Every structure is written in C-alpha cells, then in structure tokens.
Structure 1
Amino acid sequence: MILTLGENLNMPNRVDMKSPIRIMLDTNIWSEFAKADVGPDLRRAIKRTNNIIVVPPLILFEALATPADEHRRRLVRLLTMPTWTRLMPEAYTLSQEILSEVKRLRPEWLRHEPKTQRFNKLRYDWTRKTRGFWERARYHSELLRNALQEDGNWPRNLLEMARKDYADQRSLNKEQGIRDIGSLTNCEGTFPAPLPEGITDEPIQFWRIRSWASVTRALAYPEHPLGEWLTPFLDFDRMQFSLASWNRFWLREVNEKQMKCFWLHYAFEMLQSVQKVTRGTPADAALSVYLCESDLVISADKNFIRNIDGIRSAAPCGVPIARIVQGGSSGIQETLDIVNNNY
C-alpha cells in the first residue's frame, strides 16, 4: 500500500468539557496510587468534585498481568473498587458501531431472529455489580492471571497479533522513507493488484483499509471476542456470499462519524508507526477506543498524551483533554491536583 501524507498536525491545548467530568487514568498512574496505597485519596477527590473515574477492562487486564504478587493484588483491588465506573471491553464497543452501520447500510445481513441468550449473559457478566467479571478479578486475581498467561487466551493472542502488526507497519514506513505522519484526514492508500472484489483503483482513506483488514481477520477466528459480540445479530452465512458488498461496506460506505472508535484506533496506530515502539504500544492504541467515553485523560506517558493531542484536529468526534504528569510517586499529587481542579 502507498500512503499519501498531508500537512503537519495542529495540536490544540484543550477542549471544552461539561460537569460531571469522566476521567480516565493511564495504567502508570494507577500503579503509583496502588504502590503508595493512596487510593482513598483519589476516592475522596472524586466524591468532592462529583466527577467520575472510568476504568477500561484493558487496564484491568494489564494489571492482572503484573508479575509481582503483592503489587498485583493491591492494583487490582484499587481498579475494581465499586466507586469507579466500569466500562465494557473494546470488542463490545466496536461491535456496537459495526451493528449500527449494518442496520443502516446492510439490513439484509441481520438475523431475522437474533440469538441473544449468550449475548445477554455475557453483557450481564460485565455489567453486574456483584458476582461478575470485575468481582472475580477483585477476589481471584491469581486465578485470572494464570488463565491470561495460557496459550490460546484471547487477550494474550490479541496483544501478540497487535505487536506483529506494528512491526509490519514500521517496516512499511521504513521502506517508503516515511518519518512523519501528516494530516490524518488526508492519509490514503491504494491496493496493489489484484484489487479486492467490488473495489475500483481509486484511493481509499487509510482508516477504512485498517478497519476492513482488522475486522475481516478477526471474523476468521470463530472465538475472537469481536465475533462473539456480533454472532447473535449477524447472519454470517449470508455475509459470506456477499464479499464484494462486504468490501464496499468498509472501504467506501461506512461513515467515520458512526465508526469513531475504529477511526481513533487507526489514528493512534498511524502516529505510533513513526515513534519508538515498546511492548506497551499496542495496549496504548487499544486504549484509544475509550477516548470517546472520557473527558479528561491523565498519564505519565509522554507519547500517549502527545498522540491524544495529535489526533484532535482530525478526529470525527470529541477528544478529551490530555494531561501529562511526572512519572513515579511524584505524579500522585499532580494527579490529585488535576482531579480536584478539573483541568
């Protein structure tokens, strides 16, 4: 694929927010609060300001992978406090965007009679206040950690797949001499021959190519989390006979404003493709899916904050304020000050 890159990004300092403010803390912040055992200070600050702390499952998965037993237990206990607002997995969020566009553009792909029993049970397990996934993590973190380390576990598989994708994208950028990403709005790609069925050789926005490729690959695995959320509603047998229609759906027709989480993930991956990659880089891109569910993000990771600011001018949705704090214990008081003052 040949990338067409535009101008440099504008990076506004802030966006408007309304109360109550939804605040997302990066994993590095949670880790420091757990080490210092000052979670109650954060809870008091939230109660005082009447704001909301949102916790994505991805951060909980990262915490469960922590090797040090005592730190892991303290971190997981802090993350799973009932005080916080627990978000749904990113696969669920992405599936809802897909279903919304399928209903608008391809209603013939929908099952005449949705098979919702498994779907409802799974969603309830994530949303229930007691005896669900979050409580199992709170009281049985060792068992969940061991399960996550097993071969064939999807959180582990997805992370390894994402790391390979990053390596491939960086190699492509290096081959083409790309050292900087310009305007994300004007970033386009073309396919080498043969073209996907139903697609002409006109340039395609790269967020569409990335989304089409990732979902097509995901649905090739029967147990992939995305398929698990979609299967109750989509008639995959019917869709398999509509390859050209599937390609046009993703590469030409879906509306980026309705697929904002897909766009955010793409944008993060593009910016990260010319940055230094760490083992945590794929998790940062996955975390971008939750930007739509927050108004303020706090992190000690400079690249994570820089990338949030970097996508703002081109994003098809609101992007939260991003605030950097010092790494280590020094960032604790900075975080509390930001939370207390709403900026």
Structure 2
Amino acid sequence: MLDTNLWRYLSDFGGFERVMSVAQENRVAISVAPGTVFEIRELKDDATRKAMLRLAADPRLNRLMPEAYSEAEDFKSEVRRLRPKWLRENPNMKEVNRLKYSWTRVKGGFWERARLDIAPPVTDESMRGATEVDAARREAIALREIVKTQYKPQEAEIPLTSVYYAPPDDSWAHPVEYWRAGACYIWTSELMYYTSPYREWIDGEVDHIEMLWDSQSFKSFWYYEVKAENMKRQWLRGAFEYLQRWYKVTSGTPGDSLLASHLAEVDSVLSADKNFVRFAERCHKEAPFKTATAIKIAAGAATADEICAALNDIGKASLSD
C-alpha cells in the first residue's frame, strides 16, 4: 500500500507506469485505500488533484474497501460471538448490498467517479464528513497540548500493549487498554448519527438502539470482552492516535490514523512520511497480531526509483518464503 504523499510525487515527477510494470514483474499487487482518495479530493488545485486521482484510482490497482466497512465487519463478527441478542431477527441486507456494489463495481461506482474527478453528491453525510475532518484536526492539536503539560516524554516509548486508560466512570474499577476506550467512544458517537457510515454498514443486521440502550453491556463489550486479534483495525487506529500525541500535528494527522486501519490487510506500506513509517513499524513490532512492515521512500524525483527497488525486494522476499 502506498501512502498518500507518494501519489503526489508520482504525479509530479512521473514513473507510475514503471512502478506498475515492476509490480507486475514481481507479482506484487499495489493497494490503494479510499482514505487516500478522500485526502486527494481536498486539494484545491484542479490540475494537481485530477492528475493524482487518475493515478490513485487506476483500475489496475487493488482497491481496498473503506475502513468503516472493514471495521463494521469485524464488529459484527464479535457481536455474533458475544452479543447475539443485539442481532436483528429479520436481517435486511438490501441497503448494505447496494452500498457495497457502489464500492466494488467496475463502472459508475466510487472508484470511477474518483478517477474522473466527479465530486460525490452533496448529502448530509458528505457535509458532516467535511466538518468532522476539521474537528478531528482540532482534537489532535488539543491532545498534543495535553501531552505536553501532563505526560512525561518517556511515556511515548511505553510498549503499545501496556498503554492503559482509566475510564472516568467510577463504576469501572479497572483501567482498560487504550485502544478499547477509543473504540468505545468512536462507536458510541457514530451510532448517534443516522448518516454515519458505521450505521449504514451494520443497521441491516444489528439493532443499534438495543446496543445503546444496553449502555453498560456495550461498554463492557468494548472495555473487556472483544479480542484484539478480532478487532485489528481498532487496535491499529488506537495505537496511531496514541503515538500521534507525541509529534507535531499536521493536516494529514487524522488521515494517517484512518490509513493505519488498513495495515492489517496488506503486507507492506510505503511512505515518505518518517513519522508514519515510525508508527507503522512500532505497530509491526508490538501488535499482538501480524501487521504490515513499513518502508521509508524518498520524497521527490527519486520516489519512483525507490518504490521500484522496494517492489523488487518485496518480490524476492516473497519468492524466498
């Protein structure tokens, strides 16, 4: 998987077709995440945006499903295992299947609209999405300020499996793993919105009203019962959000934590962002499950050359395995 910044350098300096050729020779699939398209769509310069979208939405790439879909699939699996009473007696998959088709269809769906730079229709969800990106950036800056005043620098090196959070509610006697608190907060917040993508992906099978009404059980589900290996994407997002607290916040910070959720789906991630690579490598070494290795790629005119070299190395490693 290529980080968003690499698509910018491939667009500016060329080399995309060479990269695709080397990938094919090594039988390596290059993946692209929807979050990359969302970030590119925020670019104001028409020529730059269009050029990047033509590359990042190329039909030869392995197009990943959105993180909300994959996280929802993980969530539903744990609900079936731990809380079958939350499942609907008569599931209705019509809307979910319609949404999924829009993501997987060859023509007329999300990816073709992205490649042609056709803006998505203005809906309640799209308007809320833009607002939440700004809110997420403000939250990242606020967390950075809290860290500078309340935490010691050495805490950045605590093993990710040893980072805990004490819920403010006294009814919860024991601290919980950091990622669990974040996941509980995100899901509780998202389920409040009718237009939430999380709601859209689960509503056909899971009764969200039953879950929220059963609030203590919902918290227990997240705080103590779900397994990290079954919620890999939530663990990865939580790890990135924790590590991001110790570094300068940029406009791409929220996008990085979304992209991190895909590290459970690919073997390697390539990026020109040293902090993204640093965080991904921490996750690769410390996560209680397998995640992608991270490779630092030079920014600028050398980007295509370095991606090709990395693809050759990945191909050789795959053959040796």
Q: Same fold (TM over 0.5)?
A: yes
1:152 to partner: Cα distance = 5.4
1:118 and 2:90 are equivalent in the alignment: no
**1:27 maps to what in 2?**
4
**1:186 maps to what in 2?**
162
**1:36 maps to what in 2?**
13
| Residue identity matched to 2:289 | C
Q: Distance in 1 between matches of 2:246 and 2:61?
A: 35
**1:338 maps to what in 2?**
310
Q: 1:138 aligns with which of 107, 110, 115?
A: 115
Q: Distance in 2 between matches of 1:291 and 1:158?
A: 23
Query: Gaps spanning 5+ residues in structure 2: where?
Result: none
**1:108 maps to what in 2?**
85
More helix by share: 2
1:290 and 2:267 are equivalent in the alignment: no
**2:64 maps to what in 1?**
87
**1:16 maps to what in 2?**
none
C-alpha contact 1:296 1:321 (8 A) present in aligned 2: yes
Q: 1:228 aligns with which of 167, 184, 200?
A: 200
Q: 1:177 aligns with which of 140, 151, 158?
A: 151
| Residue identity matched to 1:109 | W
Q: Distance in 1 between matches of 2:172 and 2:108?
A: 51
Q: 1:48 aligns with which of 15, 25, 47?
A: 25
Q: Which moved more, 1:284-293 or 1:175-184?
A: 175-184
Q: Distance in 2 between matches of 1:300 and 1:44?
A: 21
1:147 to partner: Cα distance = 5.0
Q: Which moved more, 1:38-47 or 1:173-182?
A: 173-182
Q: Distance in 2 between matches of 1:162 and 1:322?
A: 25
Query: Gaps spanning 5+ residues in structure 1: where?
Result: 1-23
Q: Distance in 2 between matches of 1:76 and 1:187?
A: 38
Can you list the C-alpha shifts for 1:155-196, whole angstroms capped at 9, x where unaligned? 32332232233233223323323324211111112123x43x
**1:237 maps to what in 2?**
209
Which of structure 1's runs of 4+ aligned residues deviate more than 6 A? none
Change (3 A) 1:152 1:29: closer
**What count of residue pairs does the alignment treat as equivalent?**
313
The Cα RMSD (Å) is: 1.9
1:142 to partner: Cα distance = 4.8
Q: Give identity over the alignment, percent.
A: 34
Q: 2:176 aligns with which of 192, 204, 209?
A: 204
Q: Distance in 1 between matches of 2:132 and 2:33?
A: 16
1:280 and 2:256 are equivalent in the alignment: no
Q: Distance in 2 between matches of 1:308 and 1:87?
A: 18
Change (3 A) 1:30 1:308: same
1:241 to partner: Cα distance = 2.9
C-alpha contact 1:103 1:110 (8 A) present in aligned 2: yes
Q: Distance in 2 between matches of 1:153 and 1:84?
A: 28
C-alpha contact 1:154 1:225 (8 A) present in aligned 2: no
| Residue identity matched to 1:93 | S
Q: Distance in 1 between matches of 2:6 and 2:136?
A: 23
**2:222 maps to what in 1?**
250
**1:160 maps to what in 2?**
134
Q: Distance in 2 between matches of 1:37 and 1:205?
A: 44
Partner of 2:256: helix, strand, or coil? helix
TM-score by length of 2: 0.92
**2:301 maps to what in 1?**
329
**1:302 maps to what in 2?**
274
1:73 to partner: Cα distance = 1.2
Q: Distance in 2 between matches of 1:204 and 1:341?
A: 40
Partner of 1:323: helix, strand, or coil? strand
Q: Distance in 2 between matches of 1:81 and 1:177?
A: 44
TM-score by length of 1: 0.86
**1:5 maps to what in 2?**
none
Q: Distance in 1 between matches of 2:166 and 2:66?
A: 32
